[in-house]
Amino acid sequence: MKKSILSFLFSIFLLSVTAQDIPEHISYTRIYDYLDELATNGIIELNSVAKPFSRTFITEKLLEAKTHSNSLNKRQQNELKFFLNEFALEQNKLPETMVKLAKNDNLTAALLQPAVNYIDTVFRARIAPIIGMNIIANANGTLIKRWYGADLQMMIGKHLSIYGSLRDISLDASGIKNMPVSAGLLARPTYLNDFPGYEYKESSTGGDFSDSRGGIKYAWNWGSIGLVKDNVVWGDNYHGSNILSGRAPSFPMLTLHLKPAKWFEMQYFHGWLVSNVIDTTRYYIDNAGGKHARMANKFIAANMFTFTPVRNLNLSVGNSIIYAEEDIQPAYLFPIAFYKSEDHTLTKGLGLENQNSQFFFNFSSRNINHLHLFTSVYIDDLMWSRFLPSSKERNPISYKVGANLSNFPIDNLSIVAEYTNSNIINYKHSIPVLTWASNGYNLGSYLGDNSTEIYLAARYKPIRGLDLNLSYTDAKHGNEYIYDRAAVDNIISQPSPGEITWSNNTVAFNAQYEVVNNAYAIINVSYSDIKGYNLTSIPIVGEVRKTAQGYLNLFTPAYLQGKNTTITIGFSFGF
C-alpha cells in the first residue's frame, strides 16, 4: 500500500514538473554511471543508447528511484540524496550548501557547493565556476594541464532553457625531458587514445584550447527541439562508443527529441562539422590582395529510433549521412528518413559521386536483474554477398558486444567486459571531406578502422562519492590503408586486422572522489606498453607502410610511447 501511494505521488509530480531540456554533459560520468547502476538493478527503466540526458530527465529518474529507496543499499541511498541536491533547481528549490556566502528565499551563493543559484516563479538559474588542474608524470617528465571557466544554466517559464559553458584549457609540457614540447600534446586526430579531441593553439611550452558549448531549447512533456553546440554519444558502452563516441570537439547542431509513447523514442540532429579540407574556390582577399582560403562545408544528419517491446529491452535502429554540399540540403532536415535513398535520388540520376551514408543499430537488455547485455553495430557499407564463405571481401562494419554485472554477488561492485572490432576502411571515404570525422577526429571508435579491443574492468564504490576502477585494455591496430577507390575491392579482401602495426596493453587504477557537488579529487596510476611493429608482408596498393617507429609516431604521442608507469593527480571544480 505504501509503495502504491509513493508511486501515485511520483506520478503527480511528473505531471506538474516543468519540461526544460538542459543537457547534462557527458563528462559528468558519475551521474550517468549511477543511473546505469539503478537500471541494471531493476530500480528504474533507462534507454541509454543516446547521451547526453537532460537534467529534467535525470531528475525524474532520481525521484523515481526515491520511491524505491527501500531497495537501495546504504551507499546508493546516500548517492541518491547527494544527486538530488545537485538537481535541486529542477525540483523548483534551492540546493543545500555547506560554506555559504549568501542565502535568502530566492538566492544562494556558496563556496561549497561552488555555485550561485537563483529561483523565482518564472526564472531559475545557476552559474558555477570551472577550475582544475591535473599533474601527469612518468619517466619522460611532467605535464601540467590547467583549465578554468564558467558554466551557466537558465530555465525560463515552463518550456524554455538556455545554457552555456566556457573552458580555457592549457597544457604545459615544459617539464618533458629530451623531447619537444609537442610530444606532450596527447590528443591528435591520428592518435589512438580516448583523450578528448582538441584543436591546439601550440606555444613554446605546450598548447592551449578553448572549449565553448551551449544552446537554447524548447521542451514539452514528451519532446524538445534545440539549437546547441555540444558533444553527442550514441551506442551503449562503458569504454567508448563505436557509433558516436563524443570524442571529437563539440559542434553546432539542430536537435529533435521525441518520446510520445513509453515504447517509442526518437533522436535526431543535423550538425555542422569541421572538415579540415581547404576549398580553393572560396577565399577572402585582404587589403594587400592576398588570398585566404576557407574550409569546405561539411554536414551530418542522423536519427535513432528506439523501440521497447517489453520492460528493460531496448532495440534501436538509425542511419546518418555525411554530406559536403555548398548549402544545407533540405532533404536531410527530415528527421524520419532513410538518407541513403535520399542521396541516390539527389545524385545517381546525374552520375555524381554519392555522399557518405551509414546505418547502425543497438541492442540493450537489462531483463536479467543485475546484468546489462548490449551490442552496437555501425555499418559503413553493406553487401550481403560479402557474408558468403566464398567471398574474400569483408563489409566495412564495426561492432561492440559487452556486459556489465552490477551489485552481484558483491554489493557496490560492478564487473565490465567489452569487445570491439572494426573492419578495414570502416569510417573512411575516398573523398576526404566525407569521412566520419570532425576536426579530423573520428566520430566513432577511438581506435579507428581495422582494429580490435578487449576491455575489462572492476568498479567498486565503497562509500558515497568514491569510485575505484581497476581496468585492463588490450587494443590492436592492423595494417593501415587509405580508401583507394580503384583498389578498394582488394583492400577489403585482406585479413582483418591482418598484421599488427600497433598495440596498447594498459593496466590502470583510477580513484576519484566527489567531495561535494561539482568538486573532484582524482588519482590515476597506469602501466602501459604501447609499441609499433615492422611488417614482413609485401605491401599492396592503398596500404600505408611505415617502420615500427613510424607507426608508433603516427598513433601515439611520444610522451606515452613504450613502457611507462604514468601517474595523474588532480582536482577540479566543475567538469
Give me the CATH number covering residue 361. Answer: 2.40.160.130
Backbone φ, ψ for residue 332 (5° rounding) = -90, 5
pLDDT value at residue 531:
97
- Which amino acid is residue 417, in one-letter code? A
Q: Up-side HSE of residue 65: CA atoms within 13 Å toward CB?
A: 29
For 48, residues 6+ apart whose C-beta sits below 8 A from its C-beta are 35, 36, 39, 236, 314, 364
In the structure grid, which three cell numbers stand for residue 406, read together?
552490477
Instruction: Encode pLDDT of 175-214 as tens digits.
Output: 999 999 999 999 999 999 999 998 888 888 899 999 999 9
In the structure grid, which three cell numbers stand for residue 116, read together?
550561485
pLDDT value at residue 574:
79
Backbone φ, ψ for residue 186 (5° rounding) = -80, -15
Residue 494 near residue 466, CB atoms below 8 Å: no
**C-alpha gyration radius of the chain:** 24
* CA-wise closest residue to 37 among 6, 61, 21, 14: 61
Residue 476 near residue 502, CB atoms below 8 Å: yes
In the structure grid, which three cell numbers stand for residue 252, read together?
553546432
Cα–Cα distance, 507 to 471 (Å, whole number): 6
Cα–Cα distance, 385 to 366 (Å, whole number): 34
Backbone φ, ψ for residue 161 (5° rounding) = -140, 145
Confidence (pTM): 0.94
Q: Up-side HSE of residue 155: CA atoms within 13 Å toward CB?
A: 28
**DSSP one-letter string for 402-462:** EEEEESSSSTTEEEEEEEEEE-TTTT--SSGGGSSEETTEESS-TT-SSEEEEEEEEEE--
Backbone φ, ψ for residue 231 (5° rounding) = -105, 150
Q: What is the pLDDT along the chain (575 residues), one digit of tens a residue?
A: 444 444 434 443 443 445 789 999 999 999 999 999 999 999 999 999 999 999 999 999 999 999 999 999 999 999 999 999 999 999 999 999 888 888 889 999 998 888 999 999 999 999 999 999 999 999 999 999 999 999 999 999 999 999 999 999 999 999 999 999 999 999 999 999 999 998 888 888 899 999 999 999 999 999 999 999 999 999 999 999 999 999 999 999 999 999 999 999 999 999 999 999 998 888 889 888 888 889 999 999 999 999 999 999 999 999 999 999 999 999 999 999 999 999 988 887 777 778 999 999 999 999 999 999 999 999 999 999 999 999 999 999 999 999 999 999 999 999 999 999 999 999 999 999 999 999 999 999 999 999 999 999 999 999 999 999 999 999 999 999 999 999 999 999 999 999 999 999 999 999 999 998 888 999 999 999 999 999 999 999 999 999 999 999 999 999 999 999 999 999 998 76
Mean pLDDT score of the chain, rounded to an integer? 93
If one counts every other C-beta atom within 10 angstroms of the C-beta of residue 64, the result is 18
pLDDT value at residue 15:
39
In the structure grid, which three cell numbers stand for residue 448, read together?
579507428
Residue 479 near residue 492, CB atoms below 8 Å: no
In the structure grid, which three cell numbers stand for residue 548, read together?
615500427
Separation of first and last alpha carbons in the chain: 42
Residue ranges making up the domain that contains 333: 2-573
Cα–Cα distance, 276 to 432 (Å, whole number): 9
Cα–Cα distance, 362 to 560 (Å, whole number): 33
If one counts every other C-beta atom within 10 angstroms of the C-beta of residue 162, the result is 17
Cα–Cα distance, 462 to 470 (Å, whole number): 14
Instruction: Give the helix ranges, DSSP H, for 249-300.
Output: none
Cα–Cα distance, 192 to 118 (Å, whole number): 43
Query: How is residue 235 annotated by DSSP?
Result: S
Q: How many structural domains are present in the chain?
A: 1
Which residue shows C-alpha cell 555548398? Answer: 326
Helix, strand, coil: what percent of the chain each, to 5? 20, 45, 35
* CA-wise closest residue to 163 among 129, 126, 130, 114: 126
**CB-count exposure of residue 392 (10 Å: 0-12, 13-18, 19+):** exposed
Max alpha carbon distance in the chain (Å)?
A: 81
Cα–Cα distance, 247 to 191 (Å, whole number): 12
In the structure grid, which three cell numbers stand for residue 255, read together?
536537435
pLDDT value at residue 283:
86
pLDDT value at residue 8:
39
Pairing of strands 223-230, 201-202: unpaired
